[in-house]
Structure 1
Amino acid sequence: MLFCLFCRPFFGGVSMCIVQAVYGTLFEAEHRSTFYIPYWNLPLTQWIVPRQRKFRSDLKVINDCLDDLIKNAKETRQEADVEKLQQRDYSSLKDASLLRFLVDMRGADVDDRQLRDDLMTMLIAGHETTAAVLTWSIFLLAQNPTKMRKAQAEIDSVLIDGAITAEKLKKLEYIRLIIVEALRLYPQPPLLIRRSLRPDKLPGGYNGAKEGYEIPAGTDIFLSIYNLHRSPYFWDSPNEFEPERFTVPKKDENIEGWAGFDPDRSPGAMYPNEIIADFAFLPFGGGPRKCVGDQFALLESTVALALLLQKFDVELRGSPDEVEMVTGATIHTKNGLWCRLRKRT
């Protein structure tokens, strides 16, 4: 169901081969993010190794599908006035989609490869991550019935007529905090990788070397977001599920170089971000390489969680200890999250 929630804005209906190709591509991304030797860069590997042949095949299926959709969207672009397009009510269009919006806003001469890369980012990077965030949100809420009832009370008071609008989303404060707390405990991805393009020097950080660390050009730097988000230096009761923590300022004078957590540091932000936490909270990275789909993912997760809790009570089938965590490009469950749904009355 989570896959359909995400993919419908792109494709409407998709064949099963596309779904399988997307999953195959994701699995290969996970494999490459955790394997020690990048053997796939070796000559002829893409033809000799079975999993690499499958990856090329999956990628071709996805690219061909996206190319056809882009071609159709560009051929049916009817309006040339960008100002009029910006005022268009896309909810009233028969073929409303993110692709239609991208084609309209960027003009008829936009590069097809750029459009395809944008869609690939949203589809591949946005599907598994958003599904994982929602999975762990339910996992955490199911273990905290009081917090689930608090969330449902907020939903019932805001979504009186059942419909979700932009204004109502702003009032779903607790639902938004649940999403970001799930991202804190189970960040997607749990690891960020950056490569130094030139020699640099990183600061020593808390309890690190005072003189800092020399970084040669070409060095790959691995940032453990999972450990950062559960660090007792930056978070009280770091392993506990407490969405309310994001509403309370926190500062520790003993941590040199950290300005603390201040909800007022980023006025107008709907969701806590790296600025509010002075980079102790990095679910989407930070700086110029920050994830371009952060707000889309957060809004999508908020809507999906609100609609689910509006209609159902959720409880785990079995013990939480039976839910095994697997890490790779994302943090997900080994065998799924089996739950009992009871329709609310």
Structure 2
Amino acid sequence: MLNAVYGALFEAEHRSTFYVPYWKFPLARWLVPRQRKFHKDLKVINDCLDGLIRNAKETRQETDVEKLQQRDYSNLKDASLLRFLVDMRGDDVDDRQLRDDLMTMLIAGHETTAAVLTWAVFLLAQNPSKMKKAQAEIEQVLGQGKLTFELIKQLKYIRLIVVESLRLYPQPPLLIRRSLKPDVLPGGHKGDKDGYAIPSGTDIFVSVYNLHRSPYLWDNPNEFEPERFLVKRNNEGIEGWSGFDPSRSPGALYPNEIISDFAFLPFGGGPRKCVGDQFALMESTIALTLLLQNFDVELRGSPEEVELVTGATIHTKNGLWCRLKKRSDVH
């Protein structure tokens, strides 16, 4: 199953960067070896998910929505995201929709979250003072207690590290949208004042990587500064941009596209925004917290030796080799 997931992920990355969509040609799925393997991997994943969905639906017991909303999933033997989805949606939920939702979490949410954590560690290892600051916050907030949602709310600096890592290394680095009808895009800063005519069916590529490192929108755009998300930044002559203002999204645990007026788009924005954004951010926060709570991290070699590879995600060519040292001062 694990090999099938990685196989499907690699194929998705291959398709996102290849020039000609040869996989759409008749008979390609049978004649091209990598396409045969992809469809074999896909069958393994679908069969596994179908079995899990069938079991979850067969063992569903409660039908009262109010009771389900109050259910303590931490005490369930088979607690899982699938169990929650099945319980909340009822017996009539479409199996294909459930499978698609799980596939999104399994495929789209696996490599992306791993990449965020990789680059967060890469950045922290080059900034020991920031790592110590993060570890001090963890010790102050957690003490000897378990990590809970209420405590995550207090891990402000850890959350800022996650989003700053996403700013510098967005996952994915490129968003693709297709126009359903003719339109005119605004010219933007220093662009054509009349805008740009877009015919129906045009594929539009949004470089999130360049947007997140734009000197027009960010101070010291290439520097790792998690604290930047706490500071209001007024528009300084950038036409059509309202600046950066944390007060625009009160109560938000993580900075988002509303706060930044779409200068920060790690999960996209609007109706096509990633459905798993909060899940991914929370997952990354928890994993990074547990890592820093127990270990000091150093790069094995220089930062320049870490080669960057861009595809569906931004990842390292040969992994991120580090030295981990168990923290002796952990309570």
Q: Shared fold by TM > 0.5?
A: yes
By how many angstroms is 1:82 displaced? 1.2
Query: Taking every aligned residue pair, what percent have the same amino acid on both sides?
Result: 80
Equivalences, count: 328
Distance in 1 (CA, whole Å) between partners of 2:5 and 2:73 is 27
C-alpha separation in 2, matches of 1:50 and 1:94: 41
Q: Kindly provide the amino acid, as one letter, of the partner of residue 183 in structure 2.
A: D
Query: What is the aligned partner in structure 1 of residue 63 from structure 2?
Result: 80
How far apart, in 2, do the equivalents of 1:132 and 1:273 lie? 19
Cα distance in 1 for partners of 2:145, 2:175 equals 38
Question: Deviation at 1:253?
Answer: 2.9
Alignment counterpart, residue 79 of structure 2, candidates 92, 96, 99: 96
What does 1:196-215 align with in structure 2 at a 5 Å threshold?
A: 196-215=179-198
Match of 1:331 among 292, 314, 317: 314
Instruction: Give the counterpart letter for 1:82 in structure 2.
Output: V
| Aligned-partner Cα distance in 2 for 1:69–1:191 | 33
1:264 deviates by 0.8
The aligned residue for residue 228 of structure 2 is 245
Question: Structure 2: which 5+ residue stretches go unaligned?
Answer: none
The aligned counterpart of 1:32 is: 15
Report which stretch shifted further, 98-107 or 154-163: 154-163
The code of the aligned residue for 1:198 comes to K
Deviation of 1:252 (Å): 2.7
Structure 1: how far apart are the matches of 2:316 and 2:142?
31
CA-to-aligned-CA distance 1:213-267 (integer Å, 9 cap, x gap):
0000000000000000000000011000000000001123310110000011100
CA distance in 2, matches of 1:207, 1:35: 31
Instruction: Specify the alignment match of 1:190 in structure 2.
Output: 173
2:146 is aligned to 163
Find runs of 4+ consecutive structure 1 residues off by over 4 angstroms. Answer: none
Q: Distance in 1 between matches of 2:71 and 2:237?
A: 52
For residues 253 and 245 of structure 1, what CA distance do their matches in structure 2 show?
17
Gaps of 5+ in 1: 1-17
User: Do residues 287 (structure 1) and 270 (structure 2) align?
Assistant: yes
Candidates 148, 152, 174, aligned match of 2:157: 174
Q: CA deviation at 1:332?
A: 0.4
Matched residue type, 1:157: Q
2:317 is equivalent to residue 322 of structure 1: no
Tell me the TM-score normalized by structure 2.
Answer: 0.99
- The amino acid that maps onto 2:163 is V
Deviations 1:248-302 (A, max 9, x none): 0112331011000001110010000000000000000000000000000000000
What secondary structure sits across from 1:176 in the alignment?
Answer: helix
Cα distance in 1 between the residues matched to 2:104 and 2:11: 15
Distance 1:95 1:106 in 2: 17
CA distance in 2, matches of 1:326, 1:105: 40
Query: Partner of 1:150 in structure 2?
Result: 133
| Pair 1:55 & 2:41 matched | no
Q: Partner of 1:12 in structure 2? A: none
Structure 2 residue aligned with 1:107, among 90, 97, 102?
Answer: 90
* 1:161 Cα offset (Å): 1.7
Q: Please report how far the alpha carbon of residue 166 of structure 1 lies from its aligned counterpart in structure 2 after TM superposition.
A: 1.0
Secondary structure of the residue aligned to 1:204 is coil
Deviations 1:40-59 (A, max 9, x none): 00100011000000000000
Report the residue type matching 2:234 in the other structure. Answer: K
Match status 1:231 vs 2:219: no
Aligned to 1:68: 51
Moved more, 77-86 or 64-73: 77-86
1:190-235 deviation per Cα after TM superposition (whole angstroms, max 9, x unaligned): 0000000000110000010000000000000000000000000000
